[in-house]
Amino acid sequence: MAAIDKVRVLIVGDSGVGKTSLAHLICYNEPIANPYWTIGCSVQTKLHEYKAGTPSEKPFFVELWDIGGWSAHRNSRSIFYNPTHGIILVHDLTNRKSQQNLHKWLAEILNRDESSAGNEYDPEQFVGTSIPMLVIGTKMNLAQAAPELSRRRSSTIAEECAADEINLDCTQAKHLAPGTSNAVKMSRFFDKVIERKYYSRESSQPSTPVSMERRRQAGAGHFTKFLHMS
């Protein structure tokens, strides 16, 4: 077990959006039986094959730190944020506010070293960050009533951070079954996280090549586009 390296991914979002169900679905490929409020933090581990299917395939442990979303625990949450190699932002497709609050979550994680006095949202600070991010919208089955609406207002936070976006329903295992586009995006995200931690250090360039390339692509007309869910 000591031979397998590990990376740490935070799952954050408002209370009740489905982070615990999502972590359970990712790790065990089956929906969680009776979810309960997360007090503090609950950790799930997944054994992920980096570059699966290629000769350089290597197993890594992905630790999913699912942080409880209660605002009352804000002060004490900060001990879980350091160190982190990837962030999964979860919002509820039936609740527009939970998507807007993702900005605050990101600010809380990234500003953990500074004082939390200022709540202004500055989009500039997210562009330079090099932590890979993934935005997931849950409860898609409940949001089926207005599918065009949810597709039209594609999440702005995913655009700003040049992150991938997935919409799914955590109570159905088929949404993350191997081979679906969701599963492909998920494993691509994990690969990016592992690459960022273990392999980008070996490159000679000073700034991480991943984020700069992303920025260029995002500026040049959004062709790294949010493969919308079918």
- Amino acid in position 117: A
- Which residue lies nearer to another protein by CB, 76 or 207? 76
* Alpha-helix runs per DSSP H in the chain: 19-28, 74-77, 96-110, 124-127, 147-152, 156-161, 181-194, 209-219
Binding mask 121-160 for another protein (x = CB under 8 A): ----------------------------------------
Within positions 42 to 81, which residues make up the interface with another protein, using CB under 8 A? 42-47, 61, 63, 72-73, 75-76, 79-80
For tokens 């979550």, the residue is: 105
Contact criterion met (CB below 8 Å) for 154 and 226: yes
Contact between 39 and another protein by CB under 8 A: the answer reads: yes
Token pair, residue 30, equals 């089956």
Contact between 41 and another protein by CB under 8 A: the answer reads: yes
Binding mask 79-108 for another protein (x = CB under 8 A): xx----------------------------
How far, in Å, CA of 62 to CA of 65, rounded? 9
- The minimum distance between CB 52 and another protein, in angstroms, equals 14
- Part of the chain binding another protein (CB under 8 A), chosen from 33-41, 100-108, 123-131, 207-215: 33-41
